[in-house]
């Protein structure tokens, strides 16, 4: 237990009574820990629309972003200013002009843009700075840096309309952004771009966020949406979409709000160019960003190039995840204890089931001689059992064994015998084990041996 930072024990003073944390809080925290580890050091570009800054919950949202920073996430925050520009134009008696869904930024409109960007930038910097010392941010110092990170070119004249100072992203100064992130600063990126000749252009926040995420090769691009979430009439919120599914959705739904359709197009573009996850999270959900990133079920929609889970060869970076997965099963006596160092030495024997950076399943294959191999450490996180993943892992290990020339597979198990039997494994004897494995057979554990002949 951590003592309260300021309390000191006074002899004879009545002891402070403290309520134990509610079990659900404890569960929530335990569930979040693997995600905290998985997101540390990752680069996330978070895009919010100007509307978010007008909402009373905006300071809370900024505190949540500060918490991400405190947890070691490399945060790039990109903001839009559409309603702020409208308000400034209205104050000046000017009518906003649009063409092809984009603002036409003439000289007076550019003044309104610069004014709106400057003010919102100061507001965000102030709120993020004020989040220092707030619960959840610890003593982490939060430095915010803004700058001329984006170069732009004018849209020019399109369909006979001169867009004046409306531009599009031409390049991103990734070196400057990476330097800031390396120095543990939050990078704040405005929807302004600069031309080499010193002109300033008004850009779409959406475009800036997408291009910055692509240029930085970010791990995640997160759109905090104004128009809610993507829904499926049968199943509620659409939790995950692959790029082809996102394309189908765009082609087939005629009632998709324009904002969500734009986010989907950006997500498809970003996922095509980089191996990145794009999240759409409703900005109105209190704590939505944290729920999306630190819980298994999430709250928004995740778009990715590949299906979210993939089975892959383990690397040394997976040792912590595999260890965390195996530990409870070792404590229950279901699996034999393996020290971390042991895992490090044998990591090339392991395959992992990776769900967006979280290790949810693993299995190892140990060859013995030319023709035999043992499947060991087959395990899934308890939340992910009972939906065929065990079968998938086993099938993958069997085909790996086949590729390596094995003809005879065996497993040693104390409690999962039936599961293997149902999958074609038959009872064997300790004497059937290859001699070098037999020499290490643990008599006290008394595991049963199951074998399977592999068809070439």
Ligand X SMILES: CC(C)(COP(=O)(O)OP(=O)(O)OC[C@H]1O[C@@H](n2cnc3c(N)ncnc32)[C@H](O)[C@@H]1OP(=O)(O)O)[C@@H](O)C(=O)NCCC(=O)NCCS
Quote the least distance from Cβ 31 to ligand X, whole Å.
Answer: 18
| 74 scored as a contact of ligand X (CB under 6 A) | no
Q: Which of 110-118, 156-164, 179-187, 408-416 is the region at the interface with ligand X (rule: CB under 6 A)?
A: 408-416
Q: Which of 48-56, 172-180, 210-218, 412-420 is the region at the interface with ligand X (rule: CB under 6 A)?
A: 412-420
Report the alpha-carbon distance of residue 124 to residue 115 in Å, rounded: 14
Q: Which is nearer to ligand X, 148 or 421 (by Cβ)?
A: 421
Q: Which of 145-153, 200-208, 247-255, 382-390 is the region at the interface with ligand X (rule: CB under 6 A)?
A: 382-390
| 396 scored as a contact of ligand X (CB under 6 A) | no
Phi then psi for residue 64, to 5 deg, are -65, -40
Report the alpha-carbon distance of residue 411 to residue 291 in Å, rounded: 39
Query: Residues 271-310 vs ligand X: string with x where CB under 6 A?
Result: ----------------------------------------
**What are the residues facing 354 on neighbouring strands?**
310, 359
| 413 scored as a contact of ligand X (CB under 6 A) | yes
Helices (H), 131-216: 174-182, 205-216
Quote the least distance from Cβ 182 to ligand X, whole Å.
Answer: 39
Report the alpha-carbon distance of residue 322 to residue 340 in Å, rounded: 9
Closest listed residue to residue 263, CA positions, set 241, 239, 279: 279
C-alpha 175: how far from chain center: 23
Q: Which residue of this chain has its Cβ atom nearest to ligand X in the complex?
A: 390
Member of 14, 388, 435, 456 binding ligand X (CB under 6 A)? 388
Member of 242, 273, 327, 416 binding ligand X (CB under 6 A)? 416
Report the alpha-carbon distance of residue 184 to residue 17 in Å, rounded: 38
C-alpha 142: how far from chain center: 22
Query: Residues 323-342 vs ligand X: string with x where CB under 6 A?
Result: ------x----xx-------
Angle between helices 58-70 and 107-130 (to 10 degrees): 60
Q: How far, CA to CA in Å, does 317 sit from each of 36, 44, 68, 306? A: 15, 20, 22, 21
Q: Which of 303-311, 314-322, 410-418, 432-440 is the region at the interface with ligand X (rule: CB under 6 A)?
A: 410-418
How far the first Cα of the chain sits from its last, in Å, is 56
| 378 scored as a contact of ligand X (CB under 6 A) | yes
Is-contact 310 361, C-beta < 8 A?
no
| 137 scored as a contact of ligand X (CB under 6 A) | no
| 386 scored as a contact of ligand X (CB under 6 A) | yes
Report the alpha-carbon distance of residue 440 to residue 402 in Å, rounded: 24
Quote the least distance from Cβ 438 to ligand X, whole Å.
Answer: 18
Quote the least distance from Cβ 351 to ligand X, whole Å.
Answer: 13
Q: Which is nearer to ligand X, 197 or 387 (by Cβ)?
A: 387
| 321 scored as a contact of ligand X (CB under 6 A) | no
| 242 scored as a contact of ligand X (CB under 6 A) | no
Q: Tokens standing for 355?
A: 């769900």
Q: How far, CA to CA in Å, does 123 sit from each of 85, 159, 189, 213, 421? A: 15, 37, 13, 23, 64
Report the alpha-carbon distance of residue 280 to residue 282 in Å, rounded: 7
Q: Which is nearer to ligand X, 42 or 392 (by Cβ)?
A: 392
Quote the least distance from Cβ 332 to ligand X, whole Å.
Answer: 9
Q: Which is nearer to ligand X, 256 or 334 (by Cβ)?
A: 334
Is-contact 213 45, C-beta < 8 A?
yes
Quote the least distance from Cβ 314 to ligand X, whole Å.
Answer: 16
| 427 scored as a contact of ligand X (CB under 6 A) | no
Q: Which is nearer to ligand X, 65 or 376 (by Cβ)?
A: 376
Quote the least distance from Cβ 381 to ligand X, whole Å.
Answer: 8
# residues near ligand X by CB under 6 A: 19
Q: Which is nearer to ligand X, 126 or 307 (by Cβ)?
A: 307
**What are the residues facing 187 on neighbouring strands?**
76, 145
Report the alpha-carbon distance of residue 315 to residue 274 in Å, rounded: 21
Q: Tokens standing for 275?
A: 């191996």
Report the alpha-carbon distance of residue 270 to residue 169 in Å, rounded: 14
Q: Which is nearer to ligand X, 176 or 336 (by Cβ)?
A: 336
Closest listed residue to residue 269, CA positions, set 166, 169, 153, 156: 169
| 177 scored as a contact of ligand X (CB under 6 A) | no
Quote the least distance from Cβ 369 to ligand X, whole Å.
Answer: 21
Member of 415, 429, 445, 453 binding ligand X (CB under 6 A)? 415
| 419 scored as a contact of ligand X (CB under 6 A) | yes
Report the alpha-carbon distance of residue 238 to residue 230 in Å, rounded: 6
Which positions lie near ligand X, rule CB under 6 A?
329, 334-335, 378-380, 385-391, 411, 413, 415-416, 418-419
């Amino acid at each position: 237990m951590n003592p309260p930072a300021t309390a000191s024990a006074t002899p004879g003073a009545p002891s402070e009574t403290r309520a134990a944390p509610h079990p659900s809080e404890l569960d929530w925290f335990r569930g979040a820990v693997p995600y905290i580890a998985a997101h540390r050091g990752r680069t996330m570009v978070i895009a919010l629309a100007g509307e978010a800054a007008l909402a009373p919950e905006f300071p809370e949202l900024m505190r949540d972003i500060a918490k991400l920073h405190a947890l070691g996430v490399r945060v790039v925050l990109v903001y839009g200013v559409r309603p702020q520009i409208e308000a400034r134009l209205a104050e000046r008696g000017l009518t906003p002009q649009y063409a092809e869904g984009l603002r036409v930024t003439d000289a007076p409109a550019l003044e309104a843009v610069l004014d709106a960007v400057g003010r919102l930038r100061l507001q965000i910097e102030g709120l993020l700075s004020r989040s220092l010392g707030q619960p959840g941010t610890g003593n982490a110092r939060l430095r915010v840096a803004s700058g001329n990170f984006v170069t732009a070119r004018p849209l020019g004249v399109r369909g006979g309309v001169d867009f004046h100072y409306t531009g599009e992203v031409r390049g991103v100064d990734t070196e400057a952004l990476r330097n800031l992130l390396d120095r543990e600063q939050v990078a704040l990126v405005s929807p302004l771009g600069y031309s080499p000749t010193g002109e300033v252009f008004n850009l779409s926040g959406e475009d800036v966020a997408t291009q910055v995420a692509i240029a930085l090769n970010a791990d995640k691009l997160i759109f905090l949406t104004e128009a809610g979430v993507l829904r499926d009439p049968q199943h509620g919120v659409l939790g995950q979409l692959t790029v082809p599914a996102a394309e189908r959705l765009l082609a087939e739904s005629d009632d998709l709000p324009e904002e969500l359709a734009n986010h989907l197009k950006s997500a498809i573009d970003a996922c095509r160019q980089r191996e990145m996850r794009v999240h759409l999270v409703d900005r109105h959900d209190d704590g939505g960003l944290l729920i999306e990133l630190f819980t298994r079920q999430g709250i928004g929609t995740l778009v990715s190039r590949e299906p979210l889970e993939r089975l892959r060869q383990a690397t040394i970076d997976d040792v912590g995840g595999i260890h965390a997965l195996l530990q409870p099963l070792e404590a229950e006596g279901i699996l034999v204890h393996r020290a971390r160092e042991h895992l490090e030495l044998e990591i090339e024997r392991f395959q992992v089931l990776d769900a967006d950076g979280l290790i949810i399943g693993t299995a190892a294959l140990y060859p013995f001689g030319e023709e035999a191999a043992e499947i060991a450490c087959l395990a899934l996180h308890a939340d992910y059992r009972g939906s065929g993943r065990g079968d998938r892992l086993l099938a993958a290990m069997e085909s790996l064994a086949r590729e390596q020339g094995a003809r005879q597979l065996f497993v040693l198990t104390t409690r999962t015998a039936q599961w293997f039997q149902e999958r074609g494994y038959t009872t064997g004897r300790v004497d059937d084990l290859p001699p070098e494995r037999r020499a290490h057979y643990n008599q006290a554990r008394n595991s049963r041996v199951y074998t399977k002949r592999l068809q070439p």
